[in-house]
Every structure is written in C-alpha cells, then in structure tokens.
C-alpha cells in the first residue's frame, strides 16, 4: 500500500508517548508499505527530518512553530481565540501551508490509504470522507476532566474549551471513513459520546527486550514518575501526588525519595525540588531505562487523561511495579492487584506505595506478573499487524 500519514510533528527526538506509539508502528509498516509522511517541523531539532527515513519513504516538512505557552505570542492567540468555534489547542495548529501540502501530495501520489494521526491535524483537511483518524486519546474527555479538577476562572475556561472540543471532535469523527482507537475503553467512549457504530481498537505495544533490566537491580530512589512535564495531565498528576499523597507517605516513611523524569518541568516543580533534598527533577533525559531500573515503585497518579499509558507498560517491561489511579490505567489490559495496584484516593494511593516499599517480595511478584503480561501479548510487531489489517478494511 501507499500510505499518506499526517501528523503535527516529526518523531525524533522521541520523548512523548504518542510519538513512541507512532514511531514503533510506522517502523513496522514501513517494512512492507510506502509511507509518505506530512508533518509540521518546528525547527527545534536538526535530527527530526533526516531521521524520518527510519519510518517513512518520503517526508513533506512544513515549517511551523506554535508559540510556547508562556510567550506573549501565545497570550495573543489566547485572546484571538475567545470568539472562535475551535478550541485553542486545535486552532493554533491550523496552518494554511500544511493544508496545501496535503492536497499537493494527494494529487501527486494518489495514496491508497490516508491516516490522520491524532485529532489535531484534522483541522487542515478539506474533505475528511476518505481519511482514517487514529485517535490516541478522546480529547473531549481530557478537557472535561480538566474542568472537573479545576476551580474558579480556570474551571470556566476549561469547560468552555471542552465544549468546543466536543463539537470539533464529534464533527471530525462522524465525517472520517473510520476511527481507530488505542483501547477498547476509548472505542466504547467514541461510540457513546459521538454516536459512532464501528470503532475498532489496537492495543499499545512495548519493546520488552530493550526495557528488561540487564542484570540485578540497585534501588536508588523509592518512587519514580515518568512523563512529559509540558502535558497538563502529567503536571496535574504530579502536583496532586506532591500535595496530597507524598505527605501521607512521609508521615510513615520520612526518608521516602522521589524522582520525576520528563521534559520541560515547570519552574514551580524545579523550585519544589530545590527545597526538598529527597525530591529530584531531571528534565529531559536521553534514556529513561536506567531511571526505571533503579526505582522501587513507579507511580501514575493521573486524574486527567485518555488513551493508553505507555509509561505503565514500559514500567512493567522494566520490572518496576506500578501504582496508578484507575484513570491512569484506563484502557489497559491489567489485573489488579496481581500485576498492578490501583488506588483512587490519596490515602489509598499512599497505602499502596507504602506496602510495596516495605515488602520486596510483593514488589518482585507484581513485577514478574506484569513483565509476563507485556512480554506475551504486546510486542510492536503484533500491534502493527492488527493496525495494518484495519487499514485495509
């Protein structure tokens, strides 16, 4: 097949869950198919476009850099978006040159399959009828959960953005040829929320061989959180953990240490770490595996989110036991308490962490069960094969 693949970014350096999922699947598909990759290039990395040959046949970069959320230009966008029907997170990626590039590639290449990767770039497609929408999240649910956990003016703003997102997402999902979700939970939400009939799903994969510890573990930190710290659900989850869960843990275990690994940590988080010798914030790292291998417990305290959580399967492959909220593990094939611990209050979450920190045997049992789960069912080759079948339907 000849596939036109549309996304808002290139995939290197690969630091976000959605990038990892797309990269690993495209590597598999590229072995058998001709991939034409159209995406925005923000110019931040010289390796982004050249390394695309790892996963596609030809690239079509469109120069565009969305203003950082702390810049004056972003606040100008925010003001300009007040009366737009589009949510700001969509409107700021509407790029006329990207729309023209899509049309040009379609005319020149006559692709067999059109894939819109994530909802955001769909704002640049004139006619959605022939496209497959690969939905890594249900964006409406993310914004609704933002509204539920916020207060004051932020709550009003998030609720407004959630309503705009619902209208846009529903319209796109109803117009495309097919929606493919990343979990059966998300597929069910698409059917219920947008009135869709046939929404297949593909699971999340993991590179078990690369993530499995190479030898005996040496524990250097009690708790670890891994995730991009420029994504609001991760920031909210970390703040929730530090404000409400970690104090409960430290009442019983005063020396409990924690490491937060992820790009672009906010200044407020770095300030907290500067005042707490047992809290470490790394920022961007080249390889998360050594951090996973040296942690006793991986925590996923998300209250907002959608899709599936690569961070959980990666921790399982690294044989690091996981404590998560139900939302954090939503859509994953997990079997608590055997291969993960789930807790939805601060006290229950703290208790689960303390239990595992105090019991090395329990940690080992959960870690082994989790590793066997991902090793037996979730290789990227098998996930990409399922996706490939759906492209041909």
DSSP codes, 255-283: T--EEEE-SS--HHHHHHHHH-TTEEEEE
Domain ranges of the chain: 2-205+380-391, 208-377
Q: What pLDDT sits at residue 224?
A: 98
Specify whether the CB–CB gap between 295 and 219 falls below 8 A. Answer: yes
Give pTM, 2 decimals.
0.80
- Distance (Å) of CA 29 to CA 100, 117, 120, 383: 26, 14, 22, 11
Cα 240 to Cα 227: distance, rounded to the nearest angstrom: 15
Q: What pLDDT sits at residue 196?
A: 96
- Output the furthest CA–CA distance in the chain (Å, rounded): 65
Cα 2 to Cα 31: distance, rounded to the nearest angstrom: 12
Three-point CA angle 74, 263, 261, nearest 5°: 145
CATH hierarchy code of domain 208-377: 3.40.50.2000
Share of residues in the chain with pLDDT > 70 (%) = 99
Q: Which two tokens stand for residue 249?
A: 């843990």
Cα 26 to Cα 11: distance, rounded to the nearest angstrom: 10
Q: Which two tokens stand for residue 343?
A: 């807790």
Specify whether the CB–CB gap between 203 and 195 falls below 8 A. Answer: no
Query: 2-205+380-391 and 208-377 share one CATH topology?
Result: yes
The stretches in the chain having pLDDT less than 50 are 307
Q: What pLDDT sits at residue 86?
A: 96
Q: Which tens digits make up the pLDDT trace of 273-328?
A: 999 999 999 999 989 999 999 999 999 999 987 545 789 999 999 999 999 999 99
Q: Which two tokens stand for residue 11?
A: 């995939």
Cα 172 to Cα 106: distance, rounded to the nearest angstrom: 19
Q: What pLDDT sits at residue 308?
A: 53
For the domain made up of 2-205+380-391, the CATH class stated in words is alpha beta
Q: Which tens digits make up the pLDDT trace of 55-71?
A: 999 999 999 988 887 78
49-52, Cβ contacts within 8 angstroms, sequence gap of 24 or more: 49/10, 51/10, 51/11, 51/12, 52/10, 52/11, 52/12
């Amino acid at each position: 097949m000849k596939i036109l693949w549309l996304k808002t970014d290139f995939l290197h350096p690969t630091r976000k869950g959605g990038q990892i999922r797309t990269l690993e699947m495209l590597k598999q598909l590229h072995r058998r198919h001709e991939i034409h990759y159209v995406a925005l290039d923000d110019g931040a990395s010289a390796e982004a476009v050249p390394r695309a040959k790892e996963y596609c046949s030809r690239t079509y970069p469109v120069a565009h850099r969305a203003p950082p959320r702390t810049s004056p230009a972003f606040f100008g966008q925010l003001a300009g978006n007040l009366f737009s029907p589009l949510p700001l997170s969509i409107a700021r990626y509407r790029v006329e040159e990207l729309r023209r590039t899509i049309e040009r590639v379609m005319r020149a290449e006559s692709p067999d399959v059109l894939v819109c990767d994530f909802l955001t770039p769909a704002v640049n497609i004139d006619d959605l009828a022939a496209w497959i929408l690969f939905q890594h999240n249900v964006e409406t649910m993310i914004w609704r959960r933002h509204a539920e956990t916020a207060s004051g003016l932020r709550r009003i703003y998030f609720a407004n953005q959630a309503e705009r997102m619902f209208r846009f997402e529903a319209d796109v999902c109803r117009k495309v040829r097919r929606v493919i979700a990343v979990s059966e939970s998300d597929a069910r939400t698409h059917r219920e929320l947008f009135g869709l009939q046939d929404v297949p799903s593909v699971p999340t994969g993991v590179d078990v061989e690369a993530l499995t510890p190479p030898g005996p573990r040496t524990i250097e930190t009690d708790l670890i959180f891994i995730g991009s710290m420029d994504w609001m659900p991760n920031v909210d989850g970390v703040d929730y953990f530090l404000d409400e869960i970690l104090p409960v843990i430290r009442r019983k275990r005063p020396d409990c240490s924690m490491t937060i690994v992820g790009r672009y940590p906010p200044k407020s988080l770095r300030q907290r770490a500067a005042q707490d010798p047992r809290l470490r914030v790394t920022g961007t790292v080249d390889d998360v595996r050594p951090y996973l291998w040296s942690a006793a417990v991986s925590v996923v305290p998300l209250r907002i989110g959608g899709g599936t959580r690569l961070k959980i399967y990666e921790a399982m492959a690294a044989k690091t036991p996981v404590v998560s909220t139900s939302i954090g593990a939503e859509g994953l094939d997990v079997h608590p308490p055997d291969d993960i611990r789930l807790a939805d209050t601060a006290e229950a979450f703290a208790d689960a962490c303390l239990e595992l920190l105090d019991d090395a045997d329990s940690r080992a049992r959960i870690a082994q069960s989790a590793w066997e789960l991902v090793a037996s069912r979730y290789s990227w080759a098998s996930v990409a094969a399922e996706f490939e079948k759906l492209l041909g339907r």
